[in-house]
Amino acid sequence: MKRVDILKKLANCGVIAVVRGDSAQQAIKASEAIVAGGMKGIELTFTVPNAQEAIRTLAEKYADDEEVVIGAGTVLDATTARLAIMAGAAFIVSPCFDIETAKICNLYQIPYLPGCMTINEMKEALKAGSDIVKLFPGSAFGPKIVGAFKAPLPQLNIMPTGGVSLENMADWFKAGVIAVGVGGNLLAPLKNEDYPAITKVAEQYMAKLQEIREG
């Protein structure tokens, strides 16, 4: 089943890279550098010019790689979601919950990860079929909030994005999240187009993830 397979891949990835860039080409190169570092989950945001073309390029490039999963981020509406899905996006991420986006994702059996900040938003997302809720921005809460949200909603799968770092990643997983989204510090070298440095940071995140999972 397509959706279940994609969700398993996302859980296996553990760390999802949130990729932004000044051009589609820059975002593609950054994504390739991240995958080279062992990080297999890519959320390419629609703040990137011609994002759907970048998604199409990456989806085609990694079509035969069982572990790599390419999705779209900063998807604000159903129209954008459909564009991304047609370009090959395997999952859709929004900064906020949108019911019409949830419906189009359900239609195509694509996981929808909406950004939520409150119990009410999370409940609505679950009712609309969201399997993973993006806690955004994570920096506004910290890892301790996960237990508070999961107390009334133990079935909730949470992926914090914003404020996740190498230093606090273990705390997030210890709190019970299914995956984390990372962007800012992972892509800091992009301002100098230093792609080998991005690969190195990706390697550090994956080493930390392995350490957490073995711990």
- Is position 214 within any domain? no
Q: Which domain holds residue 183?
A: 2-208
Q: Write the CB contacts of 196 (distance below 8 Å, at least 6 apart in sequence).
A: 33
Looking up tokens 């059996």 gives 109
Please report the DSSP string for 143-185 in residue order.
Answer: TTHHHHHHTT-TT--EEEBSS--TTTHHHHHHHT-S-EEE-TT
Q: What is the mean pLDDT of residues 114-143?
A: 95
- The predicted pLDDT at position 198 comes to 98
- Write the pLDDT tens digit of every residue in 159-190: 999 999 999 999 999 999 999 999 989 999 99
- Is position 213 within any domain? no
Cβ–Cβ < 8 Å for 39, 15: yes
- Is position 157 within any domain? yes
List the CATH number of the domain containing 186: 3.20.20.70
Among residues 212, 182, 183, 201, the alpha carbon closest in space to that of 37 is found at 201
- The predicted pLDDT at position 1 comes to 77
- Is position 42 within any domain? yes
Q: What is the mean pLDDT of residues 100-113?
A: 98
- Is position 59 within any domain? yes
Looking up tokens 């190195």 gives 200
- Write the pLDDT tens digit of every residue in 127-140: 999 999 999 999 99
Q: What is the number of domains present in the chain?
A: 1
Grouping H, G, I as helix, E, B as strand and the rest as coil, residue 92 is strand
- Is position 215 within any domain? no
Q: Which residues are marked as active site?
A: 43, 134
- The predicted pLDDT at position 215 comes to 83
